[in-house]
Each structure stands twice: as structure tokens, then as C-alpha cells.
Amino acid sequence: MAGSDTQKHLFSLIRDYASEKSQGERRVVGLKKRIEELRSEIEAANTELEDAKRTKEIIEQELKGYEVELALGESSIQTLQSRISQIQDEISAVGSDVDALRVLSGFSLFFFLFFWHCG
């Protein structure tokens, strides 16, 4: 009987070993599958990151363009304000000339009428 018990024990050990080996193989397969899933996620994340970087670069270039447009607009505003000031000064000077001409015109009419009446 001792040989039979030893044989049963040996078969039991072999079954346990085979069972553990099978479980280990299933775990290895599961882990390999998980590794592939993670690699796929990494690839997707890297692709998304590259897209985000490209988008950021495009937006930064657009922003630089807008900053240039803003600077040009501000310069144009300053130029126009200066021109408006010059035009207002010219209008004021012309207004003064018109007033002076009105005064002279009044004197001319007065002298014309005076000499015409006296003459």
C-alpha cells in the first residue's frame, strides 16, 4: 500500500503542478494581453499629444499674427490721431483767416459805399 500512496501522492503533485502551470500560463497570457492594451493606449495618447502640440503651435502662430495686427492698428490709430490734430489746427487757422476776411470785407464794403456815396 505504501507504493500506492506514494503513487497517489506523486499523481497529486503532478496534477497540482499542471494546474499551477496552467494558471501561470493563463496569467502570462492575460498579462501579455494587458501589455498590448497599454501599448495601444500609449500610442493613442502619444498621437493625441502630438496633435495637441501641433494645435498649440498653430494657435501660437495665429496669436503672433494678431499681435502684429494689433501693433499695426495701434500705430495706425496714432498716425490718424496726429493727422486729425493737424487738420483741426488747419481748420482753426482757416477759420481765423475767414474771420479776418469778413472784417476786411466789411471795411471794403463800408469804404466802397462811402466813396460811392460821396463821389
In terms of Cβ atoms closer than 10 Å to its own Cβ (0-12, 13-18, 19+), residue 33 is exposed
Cell representation of residue 76: 495706425
Entry pTM: 0.52
C-alpha 66/C-alpha 70 separation (Å) is: 6
pLDDT of residue 2: 62
The helix/strand count (H/E) of the chain reads as 1, 0
> In the structure grid, which three cell numbers stand for residue 12, read together?
497529486
Integer CA distances (angstroms), 116 to 20, 48, 103, 110, 119, in order: 138, 98, 20, 10, 5
How far is it, in rounded angstroms, from Cα 110 to Cα 104? 10
pLDDT at residue 65, as a whole number: 96
- pLDDT string in tens for the chain (119-residue length): 567 888 888 888 888 888 888 898 999 999 999 999 999 999 999 999 999 999 999 999 999 999 999 999 999 999 999 999 999 999 999 888 788 777 777 667 666 666 777 76
